Structures are given as structure tokens and as C-alpha cells.
A and B are shown apart, each in its own frame.
Chain A
């Protein structure tokens, strides 16, 4: 009655073989839960290998290039009832020391209302990209210019004149000024995606609209753990989700940018340090996705006001505008293609010899692909074309990079 032919056994054996295969996947694929589910821990590891970048287009500081980076993130949430959670993330770049990236308490006063208060080293209120923390949230390898490219401005050191600032165009990766802290250090991006600010954040949601407001110690370009100027940044974000797949957001932030020591160095010890040498930023972002494609557009405008020290003086606010368009299309299951086109421009500054943008404008086109080896193991390959209009560093650079991302 029962038939033992190999062919007839094939189908159920396939089932068994698959079961063995499922067990053979040794890498964790889900967050680790402890203490009866009250503590959840997840990780994100990305290893990036890329071309040399002598033009410093992708550096996030003097030592770290976003295209040559081993990043290890461990994040955790500990829930103490329905009203209180503690969240944190530690990060290591190139196996250097561990750094707390996020550490804050989330309080939900009413469990039935979408209203939360977050206190500590909190997630960015401003913009959209900075909250895409995990490497697999970024379809490409490079970061958007607004969040990564280092301008020549520093919060602790100042150019004495417009000429001095114009001389430093394109040197944001390591810049030195005659006023303030004397050593060379990195400049700031428009909005930092690599550090979070410290303060209090309030978030509320009603239907398709959500709003967030925060008061923090630093600014969007220079988030701080401890304040260095006695000023506070106020940031706000309004987000609308009118239909599934469409998210539109608008952000605003304004906060004192320069450190007290830099202001005193510029204007003398008798100068009032509470003068409003602030960064003001506006942002707008739209994301639309449907079926197999996703499109994101984000534009950020920022203005910094710095003291007038010597002629030719910097009379106007130093403004910058970044626009980024990003798209992703899934070609077949597990394989996608992505493209990002972006430009970062700067306002003109009148020097004694010429009128030029105060930093060298940069345009970047990045194209890439991602292949899921397994659900939580992603291989990305990208090619980047960078052009810089001016400055003393290399003006055109083509960079290639590969990245392996594992998360659980």
C-alpha cells in the first residue's frame, strides 16, 4: 500500500530539508528580549570599504570617512510600565571608544493619548534623514550633504574677516581660524546626523497630523551634551500623512551657535556673550512610496550669524541651502537600485579681492544597488560623483564603495 519510491518521497523531504535550513541560520534575526520582554536589545553593524577620498567629500571629521567605516550600534529600550521607558544607543566607529548616541527617558502621561515627553540625549526634531538611524534605512552608502558635508564654520573659532573665511573654502574637514580656539578642528554640517542634542522634547499626534517641539543645549549643526553658551535652541516639526505612503514635513530650529569663549575672543571680555550669534534653519521634506518605488525630497536652508571683527567684515548672515532628491526602486525580490542627486550651495560673501560663495558649493550624484543576502544581511554597492565649485581641495572626485549591513 505504502510506496517508498524516491520520487514520491521528494516533496515531503524538501519540507524537512527546508526546516533544517531554517535552523541552520545562526545569525540572530530578531531583537533580543530580556526580563520577560521588558528589555529589548538590537544591533546594527555596517562595514564600508571605499575609494580614497583626498577631496574630503565624505568625511564626517578629520579621521572618519563615511565611505571607510566600520560602525557598530547597539540600541536598547527598557520599559517600566506603560508610562515610562528608557532608551539608549551606543555606537563605535572603527572600533574606537564607545560613545552614547542616544540616552533618554520617554514619558507617556496618558496611555490612551499619543502624547510623549522625551528627556535626555534626544532624537533630532529637525528634518527627516537624521532619524533614519540604521544603515539599512539608507538605500545608498553616502549620507546626504546637508547632514554630513563639513562646512568651514566652527562654533568655537571664528574668521576675523571675510577674506579669512574665503581662504578656508572647502577646508571644513580640518579648519583653523585666528579668533577663538587656536587649534585646527572640523567644521559643522548644516544638520548633524552623527550626534544628538540634549534637552526636552514633546511630541503629539492627532489623526494625520503630528507635531514635535524641543528645547536643547546645542544647535542642529552642533548638538551638545553640555551647553557652552548659555543659550537654548528651540526646534519644531510638523508632519502630515494625508494618505498612505505620503509623508510631508516642515521643520524649524533656532539656537545660539557660537560658544561664549569664541564670542569673547572676537569681541573682548567685556562684550555681552548673550548677543544672538545664532543658527536658524528651515527644512521641508516629502516622502512618497507606492508598490516598488520610494521617492524622498528634502531641502534645508540654514543661516549663521557671526560677529563682525575686522574689515572686510562679514556683515550678512552666512546662508546655505541644500536640496536632495532620492529614489529607490525594487527590481526583483531582494534587489533594488537607488539614486540620490543633491546640491549644497552657499550665499555670496564680499571679500577685498572677490565676491564668492563663503564655502565652495558641492554637487553630488550617487547611484547604487542593494542585494539582500538574507532578510537582515544587506550588501550595497555605490558609485559617487562629486564636484566642488571652488576651494583649494580637489574639485572633482569619483568614488566607489561597498557596504555590508547586518542588523537584528
Chain B
């Protein structure tokens, strides 16, 4: 009886041996992979992001968009504000992988004031909702026929606002259906590495992981050729543009 029990135990031990070997090998593999991942992560964390900064110079004459001659008007039209058309957008042509995991989903405002969109140029990330309040005493009708966002917000009066969420990257031209001289640009990016220039044409794109990139400057439908730039670890790269 005892002999038969011993035989059965030995047989079971022999059957389970490959399983145990496999389990040990698996544990070693998992430990190795974990070590590699931890090491890589710590290396990643150690790399400090940098900045791309510079200036965009507009070298062409930028005439203001005037009203269509109101020959049918019974009197002169009211004075209106003028667009700030000298601002540009600077952005990375292609961006690091982690950039596309960001889903900002914030809100921005493009006001309608004195028959002008303010700001005239807005740069946002996909998922951003833009509010279009009407700050004039009369109707406006915001619309766009651009492929990334085709919309028409209808006519609405002073103090009211309508919104649109931009989910596709691209250039969106915005107009008013009532005032043909009103226009604006919204540039929608799939990554956060872009900046709008200030009134002096200066820009800085923050928090860029170290590496080599191609950078583009864009103004009123004109884009520069991509310019290469190397962002050092924790440092700043300088890059100027001249748009004709």
C-alpha cells in the first residue's frame, strides 16, 4: 500500500516538474522586464524638457480687410475695430509620442466686438471648446465651411454666446454671415507644441522634450518651410522666421 502511494507521489512530482521550471523562467523574465522598464522610466524622468523660442517677422504688407463698398447704404457705416493680422502661429511639424496622449479639452473664447473677431487668430488643441460671445448690439452669425469643422451657429444677439468643440486638427476659417468683412482663423493641433506670437512677433514653445524637430511658422494662410531645430536637455533653442 505504502509502496503504491510512494510511486503515485513520484509520478505526480515528475509531471509537475516542467510547470515549476516554466514558472521560474517566467518569474525571471518578468523581473528582468520590470527592471528594464523601471530603468527606462527613471531615464525618461531624468530628461528635462526644453524651450523653443524666437521671433517671426512679417515682411509683406498686410492691408486691413475693408468692408465691401456699401454703395447701397443710406449713410456711412459705423467705425469698427481692425484685425490684428500680424500675429503668427509657430508649431512643431511632428511631435513626440506622448504629445498625442494629451487630451486637453479646455475652453477658449473668440469674442465678436465692434464687427471684429477678437482674437483674430486662435491656436488650440483638439478637444477644445471655443465660445463665441456676441458683444455687439446687433446680430452676428458665426460660421465656417472649413473641412476640419463645418458649422453655422445661426444669428444671435448681444450678450449671448454659442460654442463649438473642435475635434479634428486643421485650419478653420471663421466668418460672419452678416458682416462679410469679419473673419478669423482657428488652428487646431493634435499636440500641445505650438505658440501664438505676441505683438512684437516673439514666441516660445514651452515644455518640449529634448530632441530634433522641424518647426513651421504660419501667418494668414502662409506657412514657412519647416526649419530644423535641436532642443537640448533642459535648455532653450532659438529659431527665427521671416514670412513674405
Hey, which bits of chain A sit against chain B, CB under 8 A? 1-5, 8-23, 30-31, 33, 37, 40-42, 75-77, 85, 87-89, 101-102, 106, 108, 114-116, 118, 123, 125, 130-134, 201, 203-205, 210, 212, 237, 243-245, 289-292, 294, 330, 332-334, 372, 374-376, 407
Contact = CB atoms under 8 A, between A and B. Distances in A.
B75 A114 contact: yes
B148 interface: yes
B73 interface: yes
A3 B212 CA distance: 11
Contacts of A85: 76
Contact of B138 (A31, A101, A102, A244): A244
A287 to B, nearest CB: 11
Given A76-B69, A245-B155, A333-B152, A212 B74 contact: yes
Contact of B96 (A1, A16, A23, A212): A1
Contacts of B70: 77, 87
Interface stretch (B87-95, B110-118, B199-207): B87-95
Nearest to A114: B75
Interface in B101-145: 126, 137-139, 143-145
Nearest to B97: A3
Contacts of B155: 245, 289-292, 294
A37 B66 contact: yes
Contacts of B180: 376
Contact of B144 (A4, A87, A130, A333): A333
A332 B146 CA distance: 14
B33 interface: no
Given A12-B190, A18-B148, A292-B154, A40 B74 contact: no
B237 interface: no
Contacts of B48: none
A200 B232 CA distance: 71
Contacts of A332: 152
Contacts, number: 188
A123 B73 contact: yes
Contact of A133 (B71, B100, B146, B221): B71
Nearest to B222: A23
Given A75-B68, A85-B76, A87-B71, A12 B221 contact: no
A26 B151 CA distance: 23
Nearest to B125: A11
A245 B139 contact: yes
B35 interface: no
Nearest to A15: B169
Contacts of B188: 15
A337 B226 CA distance: 44
A407 B188 CA distance: 28
A116 B147 CA distance: 43
B187 A15 contact: yes
Given A289-B155, A333-B143, 15 more contacts: A9-B94, A19-B221, A23-B222, A31-B65, A40-B66, A106-B76, A118-B75, A123-B72, A203-B74, A243-B157, A289-B139, A290-B154, A292-B154, A333-B152, A407-B68
A131 B126 CA distance: 43
B119 to A, nearest CB: 18
Contacts of A20: 223
A387 B105 CA distance: 57
B92 A12 contact: yes
A23 B221 contact: yes
A14 B150 contact: no
A30 B156 CA distance: 24
Interface string B157-189: 110000000001111010100001101000111
Given A203-B75, A245-B139, A12 B189 contact: yes
Given A291-B154, A291-B156, A88 B94 contact: no
* Chain B CB within 10 A, most for which of A19, A85, A134, A201: A19
Given A14-B190, A15-B169, A19-B171, A3 B66 contact: no
A131 B146 CA distance: 30
Contacts of A292: 152, 154-155
Shortest 5 CB-CB contacts between residues of A and residues of B: A11-B190, A244-B157, A77-B69, A116-B75, A291-B154
Interface string B54-84: 0000000001111111111111101000000
Nearest to A43: B68
A169 B30 CA distance: 99
